[in-house]
Structure 1
Amino acid sequence: MSAPAIHGAAGVRPSSPPGRLTEVELVWREKQIEHWIRFGHAVHEQILDRRRRVLSFPAGAVFAFVRWASNGFGTVVSRIDILRAVSAGDGYQTLPSVRPGGEILLQTSGWPSVEQVLLLIDAIEALDIDPAEAAPDYWRHVHNRLAAGDAPRSYSRQQHRAWHLRQRAEP
């Protein structure tokens, strides 16, 4: 079986665009180690071999990076990170397989939490909203609620509209 399709990567360009990009190395070894992008808009893809490729995201792009791994005894890693690609000179956090790193909006591990985030992403898509365009504050909210053991609120069209109006009002 091949790696899952990249959600939202329809605009992938065949050659590297100018400027600094955030690169994410994806690995797919069926039932051993599986890294994929759940949502986001890559601007470049480099295929390294049958099992590895690198996706590049421009500064400001928001994307979800899922990592899963198992061994003979079961799952050993199950995590999701929602990141915003940074501009040159911006501060950032480092993560495995992400160069140079990114602004972490949400970070969680363990299948119950990862599944809850995946369901929230599905719910945003059911509203016909691209999760990569959702308010970054929402992803921080989800992160904080999960870390506190509370249920996060659902994303709404009103919240999304307010986020876009706020973006237009900023200089």
Structure 2
Amino acid sequence: MTRLPEIPIAADDTATSLHSSAMTRVELIYVEKKIEYWIRFGKPARQHILDRHRRQLFFAPDSVFAFVRWAANDYGTIISRIDVVRAVASGEPFQTVPFVRPGGDILLKVEGWPKVEQVLAHIDAIEAIGVDPCAVAPDHWRHVSNRIRAGEAPSAYTMARHRAWLRRQEIAP
């Protein structure tokens, strides 16, 4: 029997005190060699296991996560996609993403396995410098999305860029 991998759940009081309807819900599916929808990074506030192949994760407003979707049929891969999404608050505008309800602020959207692999490698590089991908500047994810779609290599996310982003957060109203 194949089961979905375990996801650590956030332990902060604010996320767990939110009602599920105020959070962004992501449905994960795993059917071996057919469908794999998973979270590459993100801190879910809650999870709900539907059955051995499906699970729902709930993200608090303003949390960022990467949602990877891969599916195949008898002839090979039919979809490969990664989205980096910021969960939105109730009443905030959003874009729709399949299996994400109600939707979110899409920071990065890439399709096709070679491009998805490029994003996954970029995420690995960010983690290698000791930065949580959830804390990366949203503009950087947009930059990565645009550069990959244009067939160019994205700029590396450095500690200097991250410190600048954190300082900007401190002075922003």
TM-score, length-scaled by structure 2: 0.92
CA 1:16 to 1:33, structure 2 compared with 1: closer, same or farther past 3 Å? farther
How many residues align? The count is: 168
Letter in 2 for 1:32: K
Match of 1:110 in 2: 112
Match of 2:3 in 1: 2
CA distance in structure 1 between the partners assigned to 2:133 and 2:3 by the alignment: 24
CA distance in structure 2 between the partners assigned to 1:76 and 1:88 by the alignment: 33
Alignment of 1:58-77 (within 5 A): 58-77=60-79
CA distance in structure 2 between the partners assigned to 1:16 and 1:94 by the alignment: 25
Match of 2:18 in 1: 17
Unmatched tracts of structure 2, length 5 or more: none
Match of 2:161 in 1: 159
Q: Deviations over 1:96-122 (max 9, x none)?
A: 100000000000010110000000000
41, 44, 47: which is aligned to 2:46?
44
Would the aligned equivalents of 2:81 and 2:113 in 1 still touch at CA under 8 Å? yes
Match of 1:124 in 2: 126
Unmatched tracts of structure 1, length 5 or more: none
Q: How far has the Cα of 1:134 moved from its partner? A: 0.6
CA distance in structure 2 between the partners assigned to 1:92 and 1:39 by the alignment: 20
Would the aligned equivalents of 1:12 and 1:44 in 2 still touch at CA under 8 Å? no
3-state SS of 2:143 partner: helix
CA distance in structure 1 between the partners assigned to 2:118 and 2:166 by the alignment: 25
Report sequence identity in percent: 54
Q: How far has the Cα of 1:146 moved from its partner? A: 1.1
TM-score, length-scaled by structure 1: 0.93
Match of 1:92 in 2: 94
Match of 1:33 in 2: 35
Asked whether 1:57 is paired with 2:59, we answer yes
